Structure 1
Amino acid sequence: MKDLQYEFGMVGLGVMGRNLMLNIADHDFSVIGLDLDPEKAAAVESEAGESKAVRGTTSAEEFVRALRKPRALLLLVPAGKPVDAVIASLVPLLEPGDIVIDGGNSYFPDTDRRVVELAEKGIHFFGMGISGGEKGARFGPSMMPGGNREAYERLRPVFEAIAAKVNGEPCVTYLGNGSAGNYVKMVHNGIEYGVMQLISEAYDFMKRGAGLSDEELQRVFQDWNQSELQSFLIEITGAILNQKDEVTGQYLVSVISDVARSKGTGKWTSQNAMDLQVPVPSIDMAVLMRDMSKYKEERVEAAKALPNNTLQEPINESRQELVDQVRNAFYFAMLATYAQGLAQLKVASEAYDYGLQLQDVAKIWRGGCIIRAACLTDIRAAYERKPTLPNLLLDPKIGEDLLERQGDLRHVLKMAIDRGIPMPVFMASLTYFDAYRTETLPTNLIQAQRDYFGAHTYERIDQPGTFHTQWN
């Protein structure tokens, strides 16, 4: 076994790295793992049982020596300085033509820097987003690689084998140059923020506004997962709402703190969208609401000082009618959130020369990843019909779906406003839709104001050029 040339290498044998190694071995590729912790190196061999295709080591020299050339090794270590530290330790042992892949949620400018630094040594660097969590890593994730197209051919057989499959198609493809993979994963996570917040807002409205019981809410989300809303996040919401707490006997979700954490990828999506001047209000608002959740003590004080006396306003609809309205509202807002993220990807692809094909992005998001959803089949079809589509809202089928459901979204929001129930991502999604389809926005007045106080000039609609007025 010491002389076996391993097809693939894994650096970092935590839960994700270990599961990916076992996944690779299941598909008849030999794989060697490197970790400084001897217990982790030994554990992966133990989990593999009698398989001779899996090996763990704590020696970087042994690890590199055992890989077949050109070497392909995937780093699964925390983003930031740890990635640079691992690269620095391995590069002296590597040779031109070898491929280093970062499988963490690295910020895309860091990936661009590493691509340049390693290219100077003849080494290919890939940033690859991986989505699907622990289970996905073991049985089939969605993977988003970006880097050198020719070098990708060395990786493709392994990646296509271990990826999730939808109708026989692997949920992985070459996405584009440089940091394209990390960028697509960043926007994936931004959309994830938006959809998770939408689910929580729908849950809150039906629970506090309409008075649905925990059992009724569980059935709602289970039913929704059999509809056009079918998705991983809706599926797990139904399971979460059914979980009882072993300590109190209550439903577990009712004893979980409402102070939400985040790792920053949603914020990165919003920040870069602002840099590119791409509006993504649903994602922005989802990030903001996680920030709002952290002000727990102030919210408790405000709830006493500024009581909500409108919650008990009667709702005239039947329970089923109300649930159907919320379902349509959710579908509208979810599509609008995807549209914003994909519009950002289109602009970013042009700005950063990624060469993204959005139909491919939709294809690999259909399985394995956290935002996988039935609607991605229609989204993929929209970009196949028109690859240059500037915004998903302009696709005839998507547009028709939104127009059919907008009435229910407006009605649900009116009921929420009347009862003081915040639904900011639903509202932002509707505002995005209404603003995008408004031929003349009132920003002409803003242009006039800027010229008035700062002589910033403006453009006219009846003749070319820039103009300034002495307003007084």
Structure 2
Amino acid sequence: MSTAEIGLIGLGTMGAALALNIADNGFDIAVWNRTTAKTKQFQADAGALAAKVTATESLEDLVAAIKKPRAIILMVPAGQAVDDQIEALRPLLDDDDLIIDAGNANFHDTNRRATADEGPFLGIGVSGGEEGARFGPSIMGGGKRDHWDRVAHILTAISAKHQGTPCATWMGEDGAGHFVKAVHNGIEYADMQMIAEIYGMMRDGLGMNAAEMGDVFAKWDKGSLKSYLIEISGKVAHTTDPETGKPMLDVIVDAAGQKGTGRWTVIEAQHLAAPIPAIEAAVVARNLSSQRANRALGEDTFGAAPHRLAHDMMATETLEQALIAGKILCYAQGFEMISKASEEFGWALPLPEIAKVWRAGCIIRSAMLDDMATALAADAQQNLIFAPYFAEMIKKTHNALRQVVAQGALHGIAMPALSSGLAYFDAMRTARGTANMIQGQRDFFGAHGFARIDGGEGHHGPWGG
């Protein structure tokens, strides 16, 4: 008998957590995994929630267990695996049955799938990791609005809540939800990188130990920097390795992993001509971190880069102010990219609502997002750095960012994301920059022409005279 309100395929870490979340919120769910043993184990481990779960052993059984019109969530690896699963599933479904890709899909793939005219399709970005999936993620929906509305009662119920408001909403047509999720992940890359750079200044520049740094992060989490990433940075720094008794940070290899979503963000930013230098720098930094052999060779060849600052040259309060400035600049770049995509793809992406959706459940949740939502509601077209509240914050903190970046450069402490953020800020407050030289060069070697400040386009210089 068809009793399940929704189905789910893929019981990996995220899929299993999301299925339990759905059941925990009172919805009957049917689940299927390619490995039947995993499906049975999932139901066995569901405890009191097992009564809300129908474990199926075939796609046919899964489809039969769901009420019509059906809705089925896919939690499988991005790329070809999604296409293969859709291909296997569609012949078993009715014309109005809805497939929902809740994985980390490239939004171009979601655009293609949503317009393939093979049946209703949603692409939703889900952020929050395993804990978020289990107890309340941030959800960014993309596809036709009426398709979203069919399952919105479930998705809002299982989402994180910020002061009672669900952190789940419809972003726009086709791949809009997965696009917003990609930018979220790009901001996440940059935020994490900037925190790591400040950690590097404390460790290598100030000679602080892990516990001392943990205390600093814990203190910052009570102020303007209050956020999930600052909170867990303090917890990571305070943790001791049970095998060696050393700080956990001291036994972790310094090579950062990545699943490619940050890279997608950077690639798409180039297509959109959207300046996101802090995010780009963070992706480059992860790539560099993997080159451990070359970095060791570099240290042997040139000597170790980082060296200590003179005593009392840098206060942790200065580092805090620098990180505040860097964070604002990073988020401003991300929202500007979303604004450009909204115009390019005709999505009318709701920037204030995006900021609200990110306030809880997701990895980049931060106290600042409340004020960002307010600023974007007042003027969604204006870059966040010009919103009065954030303009005042940057005025108070950019000199600290300048000091930290300068001391990093003088003492060999790499700060790619923070320095890129500073360069972005300085470029954004320079009414007459230096691109006139580039235009002169382009006209000299390629006769590309230039605009004159006293009027007119397509002028050429007397370069051969």
Q: So what's the TM-score if we normalise by structure 2?
A: 0.97
Paired with 2:385 and 2:259, the residues of 1 have a C-alpha distance of 30
Structure 2 counterpart of 1:19: 17
The residue that corresponds to 1:250 in the other structure is 246
**Residue in structure 2 matching 1:138, options 134, 142, 145:** 134
Q: Does 1:233 align with 2:229?
A: yes
Task: Please tell me the residue identity of whatever aligns with 1:41.
Answer: T
1:388 aligns with 2:388: no
* Residue 470 of structure 1, CA deviation: 4.1
Mark the runs of 5 or more structure 2 residues left unpaired by the alignment. none
Identify the residue that residue 346 of structure 1 maps to in structure 2: 339
- Distance in 2, matches of 1:316 and 1:14, equals 49
The structural deviation recorded for 1:452 is 0.2
Q: What secondary structure, in the 3-state scheme, does the structure 1 residue paired with 2:369 have?
A: helix
CA distance in 2, matches of 1:217, 1:469: 57
Aligned equivalents of 1:346, 1:13: Cα separation in 2: 35
- Comparing 424-433 with 293-302, greater Cα deviation is found at 293-302
Q: How does 1:89-168 map to 2 (within 5 A)?
A: 89-117=88-116, 120-121=117-118, 123-168=119-164
Is 1:363 paired with 2:356? yes
Moved more, 34-43 or 189-198: 34-43
- Deviation sequence 1:130-167 (CA, Å, 0-9, x none): 11111111100111110000111111100110000010
Aligned to 1:466, the other structure's residue is in SS state: coil
Q: Distance in 2 between matches of 1:351 and 1:309?
A: 43
Q: Is the 8 A contact 1:230 1:373 kept in 2?
A: yes
Do the aligned partners of 1:448 and 1:458 also contact (CA within 8 Å) in 2?
A: yes
Partner of 2:37: 39
Q: d(CA) in 1 for partners of 2:136 and 2:68?
A: 26
1:463 aligns to 2:455 (yes or no): yes
- Give the number of aligned pairs: 463
**Shift of residue 309, structure 1, vs aligned partner:** 7.5
For 2:306 and 2:37, how far apart are their aligned partners in 1? 58
Within a 5 Å distance, the mapping from 1:390-409 to structure 2 comes to: 391-409=383-401
- Comparing 454-463 and 330-339, the one that deviates more: 454-463
Amino acid at match of 2:23: A
Partner of residue 5, structure 1: 3
Deviates more, 1:280-289 or 1:35-44: 35-44
Q: 1:270 aligns with which of 266, 272, 277?
A: 266
Q: Is 1:280 matched up with 2:272?
A: no
The amino acid across from 1:150 in the alignment is D
Which structure 2 residues correspond to residues 30-69 of structure 1 after superposition, within 5 A? 30-50=28-48, 51-69=50-68
SS in 1 for 2:168: coil
2:412 matches 1:427: no
Rounded to whole Å, the distance in 2 between the matches of 1:161 and 1:333 is 34
> Could you tell me which residue of structure 2 aligns to residue 333 of structure 1?
326
The answer to whether 1:220 aligns with 2:219 is no
The 2-side partners of 1:385 and 1:445 are apart by 37
Task: Check 1:310–1:166 CA distance in 2 against 1; reply closer, same or farther (3 A cut).
Answer: closer
Q: Secondary structure at the match of 1:367?
A: coil
CA contact (8 A) 2:180 2:338 kept: yes
Cα distance in structure 2, aligned partners of 1:384 and 1:311: 45
Partners in 2 of 1:28 and 1:255 — Cα distance? 43
User: Which deviations, in whole Å up to 9, do the C-alpha atoms of 1:324-371 show, x marking residues without a partner?
Assistant: 000000010011101101100000111112220100100000000011
Distance in 2 (CA, whole Å) between partners of 1:108 and 1:362 is 19
Contact map agreement 1:127 1:145 (CA 8 A) in 2: yes
Secondary structure of the corresponding residue to residue 129 of structure 1: strand
Structure 1, gaps ≥5 residues long:
none
- Cα deviation code 1:164-214 (max 9, x no counterpart): 001000110011011001100101010011011001100010111011122
Please say if 1:448 is aligned against 2:408.
no
Kindly provide the amino acid, as one letter, of the partner of residue 437 in structure 1. R
Distance 2:192 2:148 in 1: 33
Taking the aligned partners of 2:328 and 2:86, their CA distance within structure 1 comes to 39
Equivalent pair of 1:313/1:418 in contact (CA under 8 Å): no
Question: Does the 8 A contact of 2:440 with 2:450 survive in 1?
Answer: yes
Distance of 1:74 and 1:185 partners within structure 2: 17
CA contact (8 A) 1:310 1:418 kept: no
Out of 206, 210, 216, the position equivalent to 2:202 is 206
Give the structure 1 partner of residue 169 of structure 2.
173
Contact 1:44 1:55 in 2 (8 A): no
Letter of the 2:320 partner, please give it. Answer: R
Q: Counterpart amino acid of 1:237?
A: S
Q: Letter of the aligned partner of 2:274 in structure 1?
A: V
Q: Please give the secondary structure, in 1, of the residue aligned with 2:140.
A: strand
Kindly indicate whether the alpha-carbon contact (under 8 Å) linking 1:177 and 1:355 is maintained by their aligned counterparts in 2: no
- Partner SS state of residue 237, structure 1: helix
Shift of 1:300: 1.1
Change in 2 beyond 3 A, CA 1:276/1:188:
same
CA deviations 1:238-272 (Å, max 9, x no partner) are 11111111221111111111122211111111111
Distance 1:14 1:373, change over 3 A: same
Rounded to whole Å, the distance in 1 between the matches of 2:187 and 2:308 is 33
Q: Counterpart in 1 of 2:430? A: 438
Give the Cα separation in 1 of the matches to 2:352 and 2:285.
31
Tell me whether 1:192 sits opposite 2:188 in the alignment: yes
Letter in 2 for 1:359: P
Structure 1 residues 366 and 313: alpha-carbon distance in aligned structure 2, compared to 1, 3 A threshold: closer
Check the 8 A contact 1:243/1:252 in 2, yes or no. Answer: yes
Q: Percent identity?
A: 40
Shift of residue 386 of structure 1?
Answer: 1.5
Amino acid in structure 2 at the alignment position of 1:461: I
The answer to whether the Cα contact below 8 Å between 1:10 and 1:31 also exists between their aligned partners in 2 is yes
Aligned twin of 2:409: 417
String of CA shifts for 1:14-40, please: whole Å, max 9, x gaps.
121111111111111111111121122
Q: Deviations 1:34-76 (Å, cap 9, x if unpaired)?
A: 1121122112322333543211112111111221222111100
Q: In the alignment, is the contact (CA less than 8 A) between 2:276 and 2:333 conserved in 1?
A: yes
